[in-house]
Amino acid sequence: MSMMWTVKVVGLGVVALSLSLELLGWLFCRRRPERTLHEVLFFPSKVACVEHIFTPVSTHPCLCSLPHGVETSFSRFLRHLLSATSSLDLCVFAFSHMALSRAVLTLHSRGVTIRALADKDYAAITGSQIGVLRKAGICVRCDVGSVCMHHKFAVVDGRLLITGSLNWTLTAVQNNMENVLVTDEPELVQPFIGEFHRLWELNDPARYLHSSDRKT
């Protein structure tokens, strides 16, 4: 009788230990924070078709001569940019890349709130897409000071930062040695949100209009 009792107690103990370990494992998984995104993209990018990124459900395959189905640093850049669902804050020095302009216009057509800051001199260069954005109804502000707006960053939905040396031009994407960091690390994203807000307010045309009115 005592032997059977001992076996039962040991068996129950093993079962309890097993359940406890499973419970601890479940709690650990629940408490473990979601993985933070850190991705580095290097340029120049391989030249490949990106039509599938804009029309993923199209039943008509693209017939252009570029390689298809190739993942590149530029296609990754586009995917991160097009992941915006509510807002996009964009701060650029030069912006003439047609596919990037198409991406921003696509987001605008989806109802994403877009604000763009650009360098006033480079906004007027041949091929600049700043005028295209304005024509589409996107709010764009240019720096009003004498210092170049040399930033190149975008904040997606207030959670994802895309930043680096890359100008938004075809030359930069296909020919230059450039780098881009993509991260959703809050400690890195938040300072860029703050800087964009500061520059957005600083370059508000109404602010200088009112200042001019007071002088006259």
- CA-wise closest residue to 104 among 78, 125, 126, 122: 78
User: Can you tell me the distance from the alpha carbon of 199 to that of 150, in angstroms, rounded to the nearest whole number?
Assistant: 12
In this structure, what DSSP letter does residue 34 have?
P
Q: How far is CA 135 from the centre of its chain?
A: 23
- CA-wise closest residue to 88 among 30, 149, 161: 161
Q: Could you give the residue ranges of the DSSP H alpha helices within 58-124?
A: 73-81, 98-109
Per DSSP bridges, beta strands 178-183 and 139-142 are: unpaired
Amino acid at site 28? F
Q: What angle do CA 150, 136, 119 make, to 5 degrees?
A: 15
Respond yes or no: is residue 8 known to be catalytic. no
Radius of gyration of the chain (CA): 26
Given 80, 97, 151, 152, which residue is catalytic? 152
Respond yes or no: is residue 68 known to be catalytic. no
Respond yes or no: is residue 150 known to be catalytic. yes
Given 150, 197, 204, 210, which residue is catalytic? 150
3-class DSSP assignment, residue 22: helix
For the record, the structure tokens of 167 come out as 């100008």
Q: Just list the catalytic residues.
A: 150, 152, 157
